[in-house]
Every structure is written in structure tokens, then in C-alpha cells.
Amino acid sequence: MADGHELWAAQLPWRDGELGDWTHGPALGGWIAEALRLVPGGAEVLVVHSMAVNVLMELIDQELQRGVDPFEEFGIRALVLVSPFYRSSTEDFDWDALTYYVTDFHLILEEGLHLASEGRLDPDIQRAMAYRVRDRIGPYGWMRFFGLYLATPLLQTGRITVPTLLVSGEHDIGAPPREGRALAADLPDARHLVYPTGHFPMIERPEQFAADIREFVNSTLADDPQPGSGPRTVLEHHS
């Protein structure tokens, strides 16, 4: 990122397949809300990846239903949504979709392990590790994810009015670029980029990813209504 931007990373409980209260507890948006409140002065630009996009959108939707402006509440002026799971119609979900995400859930985990190890893992070991992470997440953790996914057609996307940048991977087997395009089309102020990557564009193309976010942040916040304020803050989370 460019100089003058302060970065905060949220260690959310489902990060890296960790277990805990998130698989059984209350709405997951509370974790993001708590993280946002911990950032001094608020997080003006929020960068979220994968399932965290769905958690954030559910939080925004719930706040709107309560009559609260979540963007004013948390000081959010722009969003960067990376590899979002999204379908615009309930008819886009069928039994084949359910079967696919149950059967092949481990493949997304395997891709993450491959990138984290920089390809050094033996394929059989990598596959076994992916199954182990899948089993640690378990049916309850998977259902939390898929429940959020199923709810995406019901979100009030037309009320997410802040400028939004969406980034998808051309070869993403979990959240294909058509879902990013669909979400961009349903948001009032959004643009969509597609990288030649899988589910983790920020890892596969870090320089391009940073440059695109830098350009988006600088152009979005160019006319700062708060002259004299300190460095702008970006809260970043990669799940």
C-alpha cells in the first residue's frame, strides 16, 4: 500500500480453519463489528476476503434492518470485496450446488495450503492436510458458511451505497468470477476486476492487488471531507 495509509489486520476466529465459538455461537458479524470498533478513528476502507465478505454483508444488512446506518456507525467509506460468494436469485441455488460445495469444499482448502507452502508440499500430503482442515471445520462450520451463501439473494445490496471494488479470480473453483460480476451489478457504485488466479488473488498477484487497492483508495478518498485528520485507516482481513 502507498505511504500515508495505516493498516490493521483482524484476526477473525474462522481464519485458517480455526475452531471455536464461531461454529455454534451467535451471528458472526459481531466479530467484525468488534474489530471495527477497536480501530482508532474507524476503518475508512474495509478489505475482506471469501467468507468474510458474506459475514460483512450480513452485518450491514442486519444494521440496516435495525434502522442504523452501518457506514456511519463504523466510519466505512469504501469496501474491497475479494473472491465473494454471491448469487442474486434464490433460483440460482439447487441440489447440485449443495452437492458441489459439500463434495469439493476441501479443494479450496487445498489451494490455500498449496499457496501457503509455495508448492513445496507433496500432493498426497497436501490433500490429506486439506481433508484434516475440512474435518476440523466440520459440518457446523460448513453450515455457517453455506447459510450465509444461501442468504445472499435476500441481502439489501441496493443500500450498500459506498464505493466498492470487487476482485475475483478467473480460475476460482469456489467463488467464480460470474458471482463477483453479479454482485457488482447489484451494488449502486461498484467495479469488478478479474485476475488470472484462483481463490486467493492477493497471494498469487500481490503487487497487482496492492496497486489496484492503492489506486481505488486514493481515487475514492481523494476529496477528504475531514481535512487535517491523521493517516487514513484500512482494516484488512484475508480469510
CA 174 remoteness from chain centre: 13
Rg (CA), the chain: 18
> Counting beta carbons within 10 angstroms of the beta carbon of residue 121, is it exposed (0 to 12), middle (13 to 18) or buried (19 or more)?
middle
Residue 77 DSSP label: -
Gap between the Cα atoms of 80 and 78, Å rounded: 7
**Residue 239 reports pLDDT greater than 50:** no
Domain ranges for the chain:
5-236
Side chain identity, residue 235: L
pTM recorded for the entire structure = 0.86
**Residue 29 reports pLDDT greater than 70:** yes
Gap between the Cα atoms of 108 and 97, Å rounded: 15
Please list, in sequence order, all residues whose beta carbon lies within 8 angstroms of the beta carbon of residue 177, skipping any fewer than 6 positions away: 168, 169, 170, 192, 194
pLDDT band at residue 115 under the 50/70/90 scheme: confident
Gap between the Cα atoms of 111 and 149, Å rounded: 20
- The CATH number, out of the four listed (3.20.20.10, 3.40.50.300, 3.40.50.1820, 3.30.2130.10), of the domain defined by the range 5-236: 3.40.50.1820
**Residue 173 reports pLDDT greater than 70:** yes
**Residue 37 reports pLDDT greater than 60:** yes
Q: What is the mean pLDDT of residues 68-97?
A: 96
Q: What is the mean pLDDT of residues 99-125?
A: 87
Q: What is the pLDDT of residue 1?
A: 56
Gap between the Cα atoms of 46 and 235, Å rounded: 5
